[in-house]
Chains A and B, each alone.
Chain A
Amino acid sequence: MLKIKDSSLLQTDNFVSSILKIAASVSAVIVILILGFLIRETADVPSRIGITSFFFDKTWNPTESQFNLIPMLAGSLLSTLGAVMLAIPTGVVCAVFLHLYANDPLRFILRRTLEILGGIPSVVYGFWGLVVLVPMINMWYPPGAGLSAAVSVLTIMILPTASLMIDAAFQAIPRQAVAGVRALGLERWEILTLCLIPQARLGILTATLLSVGRAIGETMAVLMVCGNIVQFPSSIFDPIRTLTANIALELGYAEGNHRSALYVSGILLLFIIAVLIVVISIYERQHQRAKYDSK
């Protein structure tokens, strides 16, 4: 690194650098603004509604001052759990196919297909779920729109990105490790369980957590297929409503306490995402340290 002091030339650099710093702080400012405005909209909630209402009121009925968010939180968590539990194993299987079974053209086509599916907007998935999946489920288990439809659409939506991330994690495994296991003449099943999965553990975990974040935050796809009835589902075919769907449905006409309650659910979502981000960064740091120690 060159170090020259008191050069007029470097003054330009310093000047430019400080301008860039101002521009770079914009992203930090946006984060602060988001937090600030979510809090500003809910600042008088503790005195007007009270924190406990959100957990212990009888139901969600804002016009009657009932603000229980728990059924919708349960809806969000259940649909996310179902989708991630289906999508991650399937994603691992797709990535295994890419690495252990497919030949080159097939691999190329499958990767491109997954990329295309990953790029389709969620509103299109939602619409497709509404006109294709919901009537299909309705034939066997009316009313069709409900937890199962939400889980299916979410699964289809997060599967492509999850498989691509797991695929990338498999690709990042050192060649020698894979070559060594192959040289031992093991079965593919053993290559998978002894080498690929243990080596790509962190990648699979990150893919899982990111998928959880995407599924919890997803609005449109879920909103269009979940039935939008506020209740604890008693079976997987019952209609539900998620936190995100609730905001999208009601923000348009909400006023006063109702509007504040919706912003509270926004803060709740943000909190869940923040926990996920922290967990991911802790795991990554541990992983880096482990790598460092083993060298």
Chain B
Amino acid sequence: MLGFISWTASLATFFILGILLFDMVSDGFRIMMSVDFFTNGPEKAGRAGGIAPILVSTMLVVGIAIAVSIPIGLATALLLSEFTRRDSQFAFFVRKSLDILAGVPSIVFGLFGNAFFCVYLGMGFSILSGGLTLACMVLPILIRTTEESFRAVPNEFRHGIAALGFTKTASVFHLLMPMAIPGLVVGTILGVGRATAETAALIFTSGYVDRMPESVLDSGRTLSVHIYDLAMNIPGGDRMAYATSLCLVLILLSMSFLTNIIAKSVLQRGIYTS
């Protein structure tokens, strides 16, 4: 009985993935295969044409989010793993803040981004406000993976380099960073993936405009917002929505594939190579 139930449930997950991918590929693949899809802008409110400006906006929003969050994330992870004791008050405080940030629903980030970046700082609906909102959102995941990769460096190495008379700062640059690089790359890819998949936080920060953005202060529509708009507001936009979904899912899948490869190569090589 238990065997039957668990076989069914597991087959059902394959089934769901199968249907999802089948629907997307059968409806979207032909549109996605044409070059025009990647070089043209949307026409007839997205029913025809391509997604070039949307790809550019997506890259800009995600790029800003990552460029802002990596330095902060790296510094926070370094502080948490190397420069404070585990039981310090300050570290506890920072960790709790990160836990809260990780739990905040994305639509609440949207509310916050709209009130703070768009209205209070006067950036309006722009790629910049969207990117900064996402930067706040990916910070916890970035810090967690980075901190773990620093912690994975064995303590003997730290003792060794301290015995050589290196300061902590020097050991960060000469020992910890080089050794933790694969972990940092994995963390960054995870952050990019999270940012690319996000919709709710962006509708009211980076906005809806589907023209090619001329600067980061222009409003720009990301892939996920495009899917939402085509599905909900544009009758007859389904086929383009399928094509865009396929595009988005392929981007995310290749990222997770990359993460797995990097993680595995690090596991196989062991920690002693760098």
Give the interface of A toward B (CB within 8 A): 2, 9-10, 12-13, 16-17, 19-21, 23-28, 30-31, 33-34, 37-38, 40-41, 90, 93-94, 96-98, 100-102, 110, 113-117, 119-124, 126-128, 130-132, 156, 159-160, 163, 188-189, 192, 213, 216-220, 223-224, 244, 247-248, 251-252, 262-263, 266, 269-270, 273-274, 276-277, 281
Chain B residues numbered 12-60 whose CB sits less than 8 Å from any CB in chain A: 12-14, 16-17, 19-20, 23-24
Q: Which of A24, A30, A131 contacts B75 (CB 8 A)?
A: A24
Given A27-B97, A132-B19, A277-B99, answer yes or no on A17-B231 (Cβ-Cβ < 8 Å): no
Given A93-B6, A244-B107, answer yes or no on A37-B116 (Cβ-Cβ < 8 Å): yes
The size of the chain B interface, using a CB distance under 8 A, is 78
> Nearest CB to that of B3 among chain A residues?
A101
C-alpha spacing A184/B152, complex, angstroms: 38
C-alpha spacing A3/B23, complex, angstroms: 64
B200 near A27 with CB under 8 A, answer no
Measured between beta carbons, the chain A residues less than 8 angstroms from B101 are 27, 30-31
Q: Which of A96, A270, A276, A281 contacts B6 (CB 8 A)?
A: A96
B112 near A38 with CB under 8 A, answer yes
Q: Which of B2, B100, B196 contacts A31 (CB 8 A)?
A: B100
B9 near A94 with CB under 8 A, answer yes
Measured between beta carbons, the chain A residues less than 8 angstroms from B16 are 117, 156
Measured between beta carbons, the chain A residues less than 8 angstroms from B93 are 28
B10 near A26 with CB under 8 A, answer no
Q: Which of A100, A121, A262 contacts B199 (CB 8 A)?
A: A121
B252 near A27 with CB under 8 A, answer no
> Nearest CB to that of A228 among chain B residues?
B232
Q: Which of A101, A113, A132 contacts B14 (CB 8 A)?
A: A113
Q: Is residue B185 within 8 Å, beta carbon to beta carbon, of the partner chain?
A: no
Given A120-B252, A270-B104, answer yes or no on A17-B83 (Cβ-Cβ < 8 Å): yes
Measured between beta carbons, the chain A residues less than 8 angstroms from B199 are 121-123, 219-220
Stretch at the interface among B162-170, B174-182, B212-220, B265-273: B162-170
A244 near B116 with CB under 8 A, answer no
C-alpha spacing A64/B12, complex, angstroms: 47
The 8 closest A-B CB pairs, nearest first, are A217-B105, A23-B75, A121-B197, A97-B6, A219-B200, A20-B79, A28-B97, A24-B76
A117 near B231 with CB under 8 A, answer no
> Nearest CB to that of B99 among chain A residues?
A277
Given A33-B116, A117-B16, A263-B111, answer yes or no on A97-B104 (Cβ-Cβ < 8 Å): no
Given A126-B231, A213-B103, answer yes or no on A270-B168 (Cβ-Cβ < 8 Å): no
B23 near A132 with CB under 8 A, answer yes
C-alpha spacing A155/B108, complex, angstroms: 22
Given A37-B120, A251-B110, answer yes or no on A97-B248 (Cβ-Cβ < 8 Å): no
Known: A27-B101, A33-B112, A269-B105. 11 other contacts (CB 8 A): A21-B79, A23-B75, A27-B72, A30-B97, A34-B104, A101-B3, A110-B13, A116-B256, A126-B231, A217-B105, A251-B111
* A211 smallest CB distance to B (angstroms): 12
B17 near A116 with CB under 8 A, answer yes
B115 near A251 with CB under 8 A, answer no
C-alpha spacing A117/B12, complex, angstroms: 12
Given A93-B6, A120-B20, A262-B111, answer yes or no on A13-B169 (Cβ-Cβ < 8 Å): yes
